[in-house]
Amino acid sequence: MALAAALTLSACGGLDDQAGRDGDSRVIKVGFVTPQTGPLAAFGEADDFVIDQMREHFRTHPVRIGAEDYSVEIIVKDAASDSKRAGEVAGELINSDQVDLIMSGGTPDVVNPVADQCEANGVPCITTSDPWQPYFFGRGGKPDKPFRWTYHFFWGLEDVEAVYLDMWNAVSAGKKAGALWPNDPDGRAWGDQKTGFPTVIAAQGYSTVDPGFYPNGTQDFTAQIARFKADGADILLGVPIPPDFTTFWTQAKQQGYQPKLATIGKALLFPSSVQALGDLGDNLATEVWWHPSYPYKSSLTGQSAADLAAAYEKTTGRQWIQPIGFTHALFEVMVTALTRAGSVDGTKVVDVLKSLKTNTIVGALDWTAGPVPNVAKTPLVGGQWRKSAGPHPYELVIVSNSKATDIPTGGRVEALR
């Protein structure tokens, strides 16, 4: 609409309630920052599908705010898997596109700079797909001085630690975990000696074999593999980007490193990463944020998790992936916040967000429950990739639900063979 160009931001960062009229029509401009290219592109793979679905939904279901119906314009920017670029495109959305609200997901590398831009410019921001510790503390957050404009939902390191420990305890895999820590925000958070995995697993009798941080894009993991073999690391633990794990695991097999269990965050979230390993992908384990068997449904479309995953596969011809649910939930949170605020004014929207409780396709969200301000937690379970006789080479099977017993399991933890 011609209206969109005429919208102007108020001093508080949102739209004034009387701005943006074109006759009786109104538009909400939403910025969406996603890693569509680069090494983190798998995290943004489902975003086009969800955004197209939401555009179609909003054509027939305008957002009711107060007594007015608002159409929704979604402006997408590619972060190119680069933190600097993520911040730049968020700035473009704020200053050039004059958006009312920004959303983003896809690891701290993308989420954090986007949130920082919104906080600095007084624009409401909703983010996900970034453990809450790197999101909150990685941005300099303090529990007694919360952020004003930026709100987030996801699980935390304490959840993935509990899920991984549950899987480790289910097999006789020794007590040493080889640590594969990339030198990026996730790797530094997971590997932090005080607040990351080492301290937590030590309390359960496990130790880490830590050869140190490595740069993303590493092509030779011989030093790490040799250390894990020499120190008897029967568990593999890490949070590499997808291409780096493919390189590591292929070299590990070539060099005779065979742990009894491999629990890998980030890289093993995606079927494409497992399929790239061929037969080497069987029984690799990872955290499961979202799955078609989750017992939740969308507050916008009424779709169940299974419905949404099936729609993705039918539309794209690709296997479902975990970020689908979280990208969809961003729009659920956005609409709920706007309708409950009864206004598109930014200050009123963030006042709702800081105490919002709502149900989504990824579970119940409650910003009043902590663990810190600005954050709502989501459930987490554990899974293993298993060869399948069905339409996909591998299926992700939930094998650990001790942290979320309402989510059904589909099997038991099995050691690598």
Q: Is 157 within 8 Å of 375 (Cβ atoms)?
A: no
Per-residue model confidence (pLDDT) at position 416:
94
- Two structure tokens written together for 390: 């069905």
63-87 pLDDT tens trace: 999 999 999 999 999 999 999 999 9
Cα gap 246→267, rounded to integer Å: 8
At residue 370, the pLDDT reads: 87
Exposed, middle or buried, 390 (CB in 10 Å: 0-12/13-18/19+)? exposed
Tokens of 277: 């390993």
299: how many CB neighbours lie within 10 A of its CB?
Answer: 17
Place of tokens 């739209």: 15
Element (H, E) at 163: helix 157-169
DSSP string, 346-385: HHHHHHHHTT-EEEETTEEEETTS-SSTTEE----EEEEE
Whole-number pLDDT of residue 373: 97
Q: Is 173 exposed, middle or buried (0-12, 13-18, 19+ CB in 10 A)?
A: buried
Rounded CA separation 323/346 (Å) = 27
**What is the C-alpha to C-alpha distance for residues 320 and 383, in angstroms, rounded to an integer?**
15
**pLDDT tens for each residue of 333-378:** 999 999 999 999 999 999 999 999 999 999 999 999 989 999 999 9
Does the model's pTM come out above 0.95? Answer: no
- Predicted local confidence at residue 22, as pLDDT: 35
Contact 291, 305 (CB under 8 A): yes
- Residues of the chain short of pLDDT 70, as ranges, are 1-25
Tens digits of per-residue pLDDT, 309-345? 999 999 999 999 999 999 999 999 999 999 999 999 9
Q: Three-state SS string across 65-79, please?
A: ECCEEEEEEEEEEEC
DSSP string, 183-249: SSHHHHHHH-TTTSHHHHHHTTT-EEE----B-TT----HHHHHHHHHTT--EEEE---HHHHHHHH
